[in-house]
A and B are shown apart, each in its own frame.
Chain A
Amino acid sequence: MERILQRDSGALEVLYDRYGRPVYSLVLRISQQPSSAEEIVQDVFLQLWRTADRFQVSRGPLGPWLFTMARNRALDFLRLKREKQRRREDSDSEILPSAVVRPDPEGDIDQSRRAEKVRALMTSLPETQRRAIEMAFFEGMSHSEIASATGEALGTVKSWIRGGLLRLRESLGEASS
């Protein structure tokens, strides 16, 4: 990040080589459109280039910050699409993610290990619980929207998501310890 702040574009290439694929995978999963995903990823990395000074190395690793920014962007795109369908109006957003803090002694090096953990955890969840978490994360839906979409009671949806996130927290705690 120090090199990016010094406007060294080679550093951005290094970051793209490291995070381009997971960021693209995330954005494609949310947007469901390769052409839009490409635009959003381009936008995310250009945003990183423009606003690198707002990222604080001391406050956590870059990966999750980048994922959060990419998710926000992709969900904005999704909401915009839904909004357009409803209102035929246009909008966009460039809200930067808030602080993503994690004491992370291994840095981003163990990203693949964490990816395995997260995938294993998601696979181990019952289908309905996994789907509820995916609707929240990849589709940006709230508790009540998920309850309405799935026909389940609001309390059930809350307990699915809360339980799943708790297991995720525990699992990642084990992964980094």
Chain B
Amino acid sequence: MNCEQLAALYEEYALGVLEGDERAELDAHLARTCETCTPGVAQARWVVAQLALSAPDAQPPAALRGKIMDAVQSSADSARGVIPIEKPKTSQQRAMFPAWAWVAAAALALITGYTIRQMNNQNDQLAQLRKQMKLATMQNQALQNQLDMNRMVAMVMMSPDSKPLKLMPKDKNMPMVHAYLHPHMGVAITADQMPSMPLARTLQLWFVPKTGKPLSAAIFHPDSSGEIALVAPVTMPLNEIAALAVTEEPAGGSPQPTSAIAWMAQVN
């Protein structure tokens, strides 16, 4: 189907009702970031999202707002503002002050100096804390991303529409790699006890078509505990995939395999 024919299906695709060949066709166009279909589907998502407004109006519980704000408040506090430092105000002419006033002024200057030093220390501590908080936020985001990915992997693995595959290693000492091929959600890859790899090398997953050259599906690296868990989009019709294969490639991957197949599973 060409883009003009697919245009009639954009809203149904955004609604999630499309199935079979029609969905696969549109998936394929989106996978290659088709200039017509990508913005068309994005606009259709806007149209379909408006159906949310047809839900019967309901008032959320009053406490819900507070619950949400409580949950975000602590992290917001730590990222907020700097303590302001006010400059000491200048005094009047020296001749106008009696001796006791000079003593008081000197004491005040000492106290002010001490206070400013203390505040500077506190600002340094705050800057340090903010730096630590930023680092913790980045670590948290990384964990969150990993969690997102693990959940997507679990979804694909659990789907009854997924086809489980075992990618057998060519080297008997290597562990088996599991794949779950889903027509819409993508291909989930899992493995554990993988040996560590140098950063200059990477593993690359390929869709091997019945005819033609292999198509790159994903590049990946085992984590520090030797585990792999990822979901990659399926960029060609399932019925045209003859096999899944994994090769070892230079970091960043290769347009075509440059080494022997390390793992492989027949699909069709």
Interfacial residues, chain A to chain B (CB-CB below 8 A): 6-9, 12-13, 16-17, 20-26, 28-29, 34, 37-38, 41-42, 45-46, 49-50, 59-60, 63-65, 67-68, 70-71, 83, 89, 91-95, 97-102, 104, 111, 114-115, 118-119, 122, 133, 136-138, 140-144, 146, 158, 161-162, 165-166, 168-169, 172
| Interface 9-mer from B62-70, B115-123, B259-267 | B62-70
Q: Measured between alpha carbons, how far is A161 from B67 in the docked complex, in Å?
A: 38
B107 at the binding interface (Cβ < 8 Å):
no
25 residue pairs of the A-B complex, CB under 8 angstroms, read: A9-B76, A16-B65, A21-B58, A22-B55, A22-B57, A25-B56, A46-B72, A59-B42, A64-B49, A83-B158, A93-B152, A95-B152, A98-B42, A99-B42, A99-B45, A100-B49, A102-B46, A104-B46, A118-B53, A119-B53, A142-B18, A143-B18, A162-B8, A165-B47, A168-B50
Nearest 6 CB-CB pairs, A to B?
A64-B49, A101-B42, A102-B46, A24-B60, A115-B53, A165-B11
Min CB distance B65 to A, Å, is 6
Q: Is the CB of B151 within 8 A of A168?
A: no
Residues in chain B near residue A42, CB distance under 8 A? 64, 67-68, 71
| Residue picked from A49, A65, A165, A166, most chain B C-beta under 10 Å | A165
Q: Give chain B interface residues in 213-247, CB to chain A under 8 Å.
A: none
Residues in chain A near residue B18, CB distance under 8 A? 142-143
B80 at the binding interface (Cβ < 8 Å):
yes
Q: Is the CB of B57 within 8 A of A25?
A: yes
Interfacial residues, chain B to chain A (CB-CB below 8 A): 8, 11-12, 15-19, 39, 41-61, 64-65, 67-69, 71-73, 75-76, 79-80, 141, 144, 147-148, 151-152, 154-155, 158
Q: Measured between alpha carbons, how far is A49 from B117 in the docked complex, in Å?
A: 36
Min CB distance A156 to B, Å, is 13
Residues in chain B near residue A20, CB distance under 8 A? 60, 64-65
Q: Is the CB of A166 within 8 A of B64?
A: no
Q: Measured between alpha carbons, how far is A164 from B64 in the docked complex, in Å?
A: 35
CB within 8 A of B15: which of A12, A65, A98, A161? A161
Chain A interface helix/strand/loop/mixed: helix
Given contacts A20-B65, A29-B56, contact A100 B42 (CB under 8 A): yes
Q: Is the CB of B54 within 8 A of A119?
A: yes
Q: Is the CB of B151 within 8 A of A92?
A: yes
Residues in chain A near residue B75, CB distance under 8 A? 7
Q: Measured between alpha carbons, how far is A119 from B54 in the docked complex, in Å?
A: 5
Q: Is the CB of A161 within 8 A of B12?
A: yes
Min CB distance B143 to A, Å, is 11
Min CB distance B188 to A, Å, is 13
CB within 8 A of A21: which of B43, B60, B148? B60
Q: Is the CB of A41 within 8 A of B16?
A: no
Q: Measured between alpha carbons, how far is A102 from B39 in the docked complex, in Å?
A: 9
Residues in chain A near residue B65, CB distance under 8 A? 13, 16-17, 20
Min CB distance B77 to A, Å, is 8
| Residue picked from A6, A8, A41, A146, most chain B C-beta under 10 Å | A41
